[in-house]
Amino acid sequence: MGGHRNHSQSDHDLLDAIPAECIAVRVSILSRRILNCYNDALRPYDLRITQMFILVLTARWKEVRLIDLSEALQIDLSTLSRNVERIRSRGWVEWIDSLSGRGKAIRITPKGSRLVRQVVPVWRDAQKGVMKRISKKGAKSIAELLQSVGAEPGGLLGSRRSKADYETG
């Protein structure tokens, strides 16, 4: 009949245990709280932290294909594409032919470079605020947890091929 079934006590115990113990939910809540600290600080610039990071990586790497950004940021291509389109529509990045000859890439525009320089002090203040809340020990624990699941954030700096690599194929 597809009706409502009564939950036994063990069902209730399980239904209480999942929200109380689920690591995924806890990490998701922590992530939203931390992201909001940065996003609130960047709001006057009509920028979100993920978009800022796209700009920073693009400025650092000179040009980048979306597949490389997706891998570095660990976000799906459709979410990344939406973020790139938002920053492109504001004139902060532009589409170019990849030096590798394999599709399109983005590069930061002079307007985007000016924005990055402008928001770095805002990011630093947000970073200090987050560090006050989570402490150096908390930040170290987050880095260790990321490393333990194979997602070490330091890899963002070393995982990118150099411009010379693209020129030589």
CATH of 20-149, one of 3.20.20.70, 1.10.10.10, 3.40.630.40, 1.10.3470.10: 1.10.10.10
The whole-angstrom separation of Cα 77 and Cα 59 is 20
Q: What is the pLDDT of residue 131?
A: 95
Confidence of residue 97 (pLDDT cuts 50, 70, 90): confident
Residues 66-86: pLDDT tens digits? Answer: 998 988 888 899 999 999 999
Whether 152 has a pLDDT exceeding 60, the answer reads yes
Among residues 123, 120, 118, 54, which one has the least CA distance to residue 83?
Answer: 54
